[in-house]
Copies of this chain bind each other. A is one copy, B any other.
Amino acid sequence: MSLSAYRQLQQRFARLGRLRDAQGILHWDRSVMMPAGGADGRAEQLATLDVICHEMIADPEVGDLLAAAEGETLTDWERANLREMRRGWIHASAVDAALVEAKSRACSACEMAWREARPLADFEMVLPFLEEVLRLTIEVGKAKAVRFETSAYDALLDEYEPAARAADIDPVFDDYAGFLPDFLDQVLARQAREPAVIESRGPFPVERQRELGLRVMQILGFDFHHGRLDVSLHPFTGGASGDQRITTRYSEEDFSSSLMGTIHETGHALYEQHLPRAWRHQPVGGARGMVVHESQSLLMEMQVARSREFLSFAAPVMREAFGAQAEDRAWQPDNLLRLYTRVSRSFIRTEADEVTYPAHVILRYRLERSLIAGDLRLRDLPGAWNDAMKTLLGVVPPDDRLGCLQDIHWYDGAFGYFPTYTLGAMAAAQLFDAARKSIPGLATAMSGGEFKPLVDWLCENVHGKASYLSTRELLAAATGRPLDPAVFKAHLKARYLH
């Protein structure tokens, strides 16, 4: 019995998918359960699995099978699967195992140094480690660039967002950078004239916060038969196919950040939970890329959860969870809406509102492109960062902890990731706009706590498509056109300037 080349590839990638699932659980455990002393061993387990996965996919035999499979009779989905297999194979085979391992080690060392350096605001301390990470990242980017016939930066982008190219991102980001200063002034002026926001006062017991989070997850359609909610220092969505684990963290002083974070991760998890089961463990059956992934979390957090409709539904639920407030107007939907749409010029990306968030991303995108191109020396990064903050947001961080040391990404070797946040935010606005236009009575349903029509629409137009279409095709099929930043700006104008 001899299997077709396609079937052989299918088996190999299924095995790979199962190992990636195993890694997903091991990563989750590391952040949620593992005792500190297990860290070295866990790093070894994960590195061993990485090496095995790399060997499995970079194998020259895969190249032969891919070539042979091109000539076989395949369905459309199988052909798309083959395309995704090829993409994975190019990423893996472009770099040899020694480089993969060297980068992995450099990232681990740099991340550890960063954990120490950040609270001390000491960029010098981590600089030599980051130099090594950048050097190896450039080496990886160049090796992949040859195979993809792109720039090194585009090849790195492709790891997170297949087919993304800086040439397409530049105009989108330049446009927003031009739009922001005036718009931000107007929004801030307007918010200064509005009634003061009344913040509800804690303590908000962790157990009640957890119950509220679980209730909202349930309402949004999270499948607890195939997932969990837990606690970790840095919230994330992880786990394995059919076993989605999301995390949050609780502060007794503030329930909103955990609630909004839980909704954000629920958006990610719903995407994963609704990927087509028939294509589980196959490349075409995975999430499309980080732009679409982020669009799903931001659609839930920004488009849904910070809307008047959601908050009018959620206000009594919150009040029920935490009880009356001294100033009970705190639970009024109008007040909550002002609370959850406050805008400010701030230093920290992860705490930024949706209006200024893109500025944080544009800054990082421009800097990392210069770093990869060799146009900016790492030694000059803190200064360049602060200059860019001044230009984009009009504020300058007092130290590098609030500046170029704030994010883990670069220190962990992730260059090319940042733009996906803002492209995802834009895609979220566009998808939600299309959903609203095609689902009659969506606003009313949302005000009544009914999200099934929305989630069904997402299932059909996004989740169920997995990686069958490109991001561009997926957006075009779902909304009638590829990414259009005008929809995002229209959303901001409607929400923040009425």
Contact = CB atoms under 8 A, between A and B. Distances in A.
Interface of A: 15, 18-19, 21-22, 25-26, 29, 33-38, 40-42, 44-45, 48-49, 52, 223-228, 239-243, 280-281
A49 B35 CA distance: 24
A45 B16 CA distance: 10
A29 B44 CA distance: 19
Contacts of A243: 34-35, 37-38, 41-42
A19 B35 contact: no
Contacts of A241: 41
A19 B45 CA distance: 6
A48 B18 contact: yes
A45 B240 contact: yes
A180 B38 CA distance: 45
Contacts of A42: 25, 240, 243
B25 A45 contact: yes
Contacts of A281: 44
Contacts of A44: 18, 21, 281
A9 to B, nearest CB: 16
A40 B242 contact: yes
A466 B42 CA distance: 22
Contacts of A19: 45, 48-49, 52
Q: Is the interface of A mostly helix, strand, loop or mixed?
A: helix
Contacts of A52: 19, 52
B35 A21 contact: no
Copies of this chain, tallied across the complex: 2
10 contacts: A21-B41, A21-B44, A22-B48, A22-B49, A26-B26, A33-B228, A35-B224, A38-B239, A41-B240, A41-B243
Given A41-B21, A227-B35, A15 B242 contact: no
Nearest to A45: B22
Nearest to A15: B48
A254 to B, nearest CB: 26
Closest 3 CB pairs of A and B: A38-B243, A37-B226, A37-B225
A18 B45 contact: yes
Contacts of A34: 243
Contact of A242 (B41, B226, B280): B41
Contacts of A22: 22, 26, 45, 48-49
Contacts of A18: 41, 44-45, 48
A126 to B, nearest CB: 26
Best-buried of A35, A42, A226 by chain B (most CB within 10 Å)? A35
Given A25-B45, A38-B226, 7 more contacts: A15-B48, A19-B45, A25-B29, A25-B42, A35-B226, A38-B239, A38-B243
B48 A240 contact: no
